[in-house]
Chains A and B, each alone.
Chain A
Amino acid sequence: MDIASGLLHGFAVALQPSNVFWCFVGCLLGTVVGIMPGLGPAATIALLLPLTFKMDPAGGIIMLAGIYYGAKYGGSTTSILLNIPGESSSVVTCIDGYQMARKGRAGAALGIAAIASFIAGSVGVIGLTLIAPPVAAFALSFSSPEYFALMCLGLALVVLLSGTSLIKGLLALLLGLWLTSIGTDLFTAQARFIFGQATLLGGIDFMVVAIGVFAIGEVMGSIEAGEEARMLPVPRGIRNLLPNWEELRACRFAFLNGSVTGFLVGCLPGGGATISSFIAYGIEKAVSKHPEQFGKGAPEGVAAPEGANNADTGGALVPLLTLGIPSGGSTAIMLSALVLWGVKPGPLMMTESPDVFWGLVASMYIGNVVLLILNLPLVPLFAQILRLPLYVLFPVIFGISIVGAYGASGRIFDLGLLVGFGLLGYAMSKLKYPSAPLILGFVLGDAMERALRQSLMMSQGDLSALVRRPISAIMLALAVVILLIPLFGWFNRLRVRAVTENG
């Protein structure tokens, strides 16, 4: 079946009233799950799985996928309004989204997030429709040296994320790298830095770190700054609650960047939405004409990561649907769902179960429209939350943070950790340490260490294996260039000073 007739067949399946209904249910559930920190799509899909056993496979997978990509739409809401990431892939959105909200542009930020999600989500599905087989081959060509180079490229972004002091950025990064190494080492099964605590054997949950450092740290800083009773500005009138033309124009490149980066990183079995959103944010800042605006409420800083984490969905479905390889928790459960329905996910699924494959692909075009329609009207409504006086809003943030951190793992121990990371976030903002590099180190450190050790085990200890492969060599070179950028600025200043002193 060629692509055109396949897609046509897919729409015939997806537009059956019952499947449109399941698509809507999935998207709605996904949005709700995305908004609630601590409740993730993977857990939701797993809990709903037994209910779908009696469903037709096409309808079932359409609904489960709706939850998966719907959650990524919803994840930005609390990131922007409360500085609490709704999903781990929405952490980056906190950086500029929350600053936009503080400047009275909460509605605009939410609107941009929804539009970026729609554009990139659709681009991801188009990619899945048109170029899935070659992209899958590209994903398989990625070996450990390439993953290592990709993570290095990601870590080089610290230079761009660290604000005024590079040293402070690097220190925050090191702290993040150390925190992620806590727990059981995959290779040797040995515990590292657990201080005799069996609870730490599984490592520290990413959401606990992110919520603690961002949300709790921020609120404590604000309370101390004496903002007790002042409300955050929310402009009146529906027009002022949506992004204006200039903001949208500023995001033109970000929409494209988020779409492409998210899709490509998403298709790698060792990638993921959180990593792709960081990389899209870094690219956006690197090419921006006004990088100093980032971290202070740049609309592109919302559009790029939100786009990336949605395009990631289309990317992640490429290895799942063409090869039967899941690239993360949610796709792994969708895979087991397909097995339980009697569909055989794998290289032959596209030809043997065209209803499921093309029905799902077509439903995602519909789902993205449903989500845009579902989310845009909610924007003015959610923005009203910020009208709450701060003495109400701050306890609400604490409450949601605690529920979110507990919900992610269900362990009281994590609440203690949350308090610890909240204090850390507060101390860091007092001492003017940027928190984004810490989060970045935490996200990338584990994967980077793993990729390095895998590469060296494969090459029997030969370091040159890291640069002998073309893709990894190019990415490592790029990382070095990014790391050298501040040095160039320093040289320039020296030269200017020398010139002025001479003249």
Chain B
Amino acid sequence: MKNINRRDLLGGAACALAATSAGPAFAQFKPSRPIEFVVHGGPGSGNDVFARALTTIIDQEKLSPVRIQVVNKPGGGSTTAAAYVVSKKNDPHVIACFTNIWLIDPMVQEAATNRMQDMSPIARLVVEPALVVVRADSPIKTLKDFIDAAKAKPGALKMSGGSITSRENTVRQLLTQLTGARWAFISFPSGGERIAALLGGHVDLMIVDPSEAGEQVRAGKLRVIAQVNDRRLPGFPDIPTIKESGFDIPNVPQMRGVVGAPGMSAETIAYYEDLFLKASKTAGWQKFLNESQLDGEFVKAAELKAFLTKFEGELREILKAAGAKIVR
């Protein structure tokens, strides 16, 4: 419950800020036709479910005078969706749901030319914490055990995950830089295959969303040895974060939020900021966050923009060290 309080506090503070800073500007923009909410995954992808849950809540609470329509633009990670958003320059009725890959794709793909900072960042809605897990019958009990084992047999331990640019690999890279321990990172296309490889004993470790691993942990199949987050999750009060485990690496947040088409006026951005702030404080949204084990952390446009620039630089260095080819 501590978590809810913190969220309320944060929301309240942000709301007060909104009221003072952007006050009279709100009235100046009102959507005149349905809003397109672009999602870079196909129907059923994590982002799609997220965006549809969000629009359903906005509908139910009647927060928007017009319909918000989810538009799926899958293909090439975020590139198809980003290209679509950029093609709607100066259209105040086009917004999109972004995640980290909107920052990463333009860095590593020659053909992905649309950077998120050239669009109109509106708000960050959530960050997704992660858990470091091993099989329950593994001799590894703490992150230090794992690092020591990896040092003893360089390259022999294995971890399952997504692509080289994924957050799992970023964390691995940071730990390797700090400790010198090396272990293999094996890519699997779907979350199901990653967790099956760990449960089957074909890999030794995984960094995974709490929603994916929670039930396996509860059933005694997996053990959590550390958390990838700034603070401990309410569901896992006894598990140390990576920092608390004695490994001082920067936290790599996995975020989701809203970005608008390029050229949005300050009034329009303020309108959307307010809309999503209201949505993020509804009981329905809190329930969705709890069920999907996401951390609601609302960050407004100005702060988000500054954060993105800083984070992009950090990510570029980490990915370079991880062996990804950086093109811009």
Residues of A within 8 A of B (CB): 42-43, 45-47, 49-50, 53, 139-144, 183-184, 186-191, 194, 196-202, 269-270, 319, 323-333, 336, 339-340, 342, 344-349, 409-411, 450, 453-454, 457-458, 460
Contact = CB atoms under 8 A, between A and B. Distances in A.
A197 B111 contact: yes
A333 B44 contact: yes
A198 B56 contact: no
Contacts of B202: 143-144, 458
Interface in B43-76: 43-44, 48-49, 52-53, 56, 72-76
Interface string B207-219: 0000100111011
A325 B113 contact: no
Nearest to B164: A189
Interface stretch (B191-199, B252-260, B302-310): B191-199
Contacts of A198: 76, 79-80, 83, 109, 111-113
Interface in B14-57: 42-44, 48-49, 52-53, 56
Shortest Cβ-Cβ A-B pairs, 10 listed: A346-B215, A201-B76, A46-B43, A347-B219, A46-B44, A202-B75, A140-B200, A333-B44, A198-B111, A143-B202
Nearest to A335: B192
A49 B192 contact: no
B42 A348 contact: no
B79 A43 contact: no
B229 interface: no
Contacts of A202: 74-77, 79-80
Given A190-B108, A324-B215, A347-B219, A184 B77 contact: yes
Contact of A47 (B43, B155, B163, B186): B43
A158 to B, nearest CB: 24
A327 B176 CA distance: 32
Nearest to B160: A454
A327 B195 CA distance: 11
B49 A49 contact: yes
11 contacts: A42-B43, A46-B48, A50-B52, A140-B196, A184-B109, A191-B109, A198-B79, A269-B192, A332-B190, A409-B74, A458-B158
Nearest to B101: A189
B165 A332 contact: no
B328 interface: no
A325 B221 CA distance: 13
Given A198-B112, A201-B76, A45 B44 contact: yes
A184 B109 CA distance: 9
Nearest to A349: B215
Contacts of B193: 269-270
Interface of B: 42-44, 48-49, 52-53, 56, 72-77, 79-80, 83, 104, 108-113, 155-156, 158, 162-165, 184-193, 195-197, 199-200, 202-203, 211, 214-216, 218-219, 221, 288, 291-292, 323-325
A45 B202 CA distance: 32
Contact of B188 (A45, A140, A142, A454): A454
Contacts of A333: 43-44, 49
A347 B77 contact: no
Nearest to A324: B215
Nearest to A345: B215
Contact of B216 (A201, A331, A347, A457): A347
Given A200-B76, A269-B193, 13 more contacts: A42-B42, A142-B200, A143-B197, A186-B163, A198-B113, A202-B74, A202-B75, A319-B196, A324-B216, A340-B53, A340-B288, A458-B184, A460-B156
B119 to A, nearest CB: 16
Given A46-B48, A198-B83, A201-B109, A187 B196 contact: no
Nearest to A43: B43
Contacts of B216: 323-324, 346-347
Contacts of A453: 187
A134 B76 CA distance: 38
B233 to A, nearest CB: 17
A51 to B, nearest CB: 10
A197 B52 CA distance: 30
Contacts of A323: 196, 199, 216
A348 B195 contact: no
B189 A186 contact: yes
Contact of B192 (A189, A327, A410): A327
A351 to B, nearest CB: 10
Contacts of B74: 202, 409
A145 to B, nearest CB: 9
A332 B163 contact: no
Contact of B186 (A141, A188, A458): A458
A323 B75 CA distance: 30
A454 B79 contact: no
A344 B79 CA distance: 34
A345 B80 CA distance: 33
Given A142-B200, A188-B324, A198-B83, A348 B219 contact: yes
A339 B211 contact: yes
B292 A184 contact: no
A91 B56 CA distance: 36
A198 B77 CA distance: 10
B192 A454 contact: no
A410 to B, nearest CB: 7
A347 B324 CA distance: 37
A46 B72 CA distance: 12
A440 to B, nearest CB: 19
B111 A454 contact: no
Contacts of B186: 144, 454, 457-458
Contact of B111 (A201, A329, A339, A458): A201
A14 B133 CA distance: 37
Q: Which of A140, A189, A197, A340 has the most CB of B within 10 A?
A: A189
A347 B111 contact: no
A237 B266 CA distance: 71
A346 B218 contact: yes
A202 B44 CA distance: 17
A144 B193 CA distance: 10
A329 B187 contact: no
Given A50-B52, A346-B218, A411-B75, A269 B155 contact: no
B291 A201 contact: no
Contact of B52 (A49, A327, A454): A49
A166 B56 CA distance: 55
Given A198-B83, A325-B196, A346-B219, A410 B111 contact: no
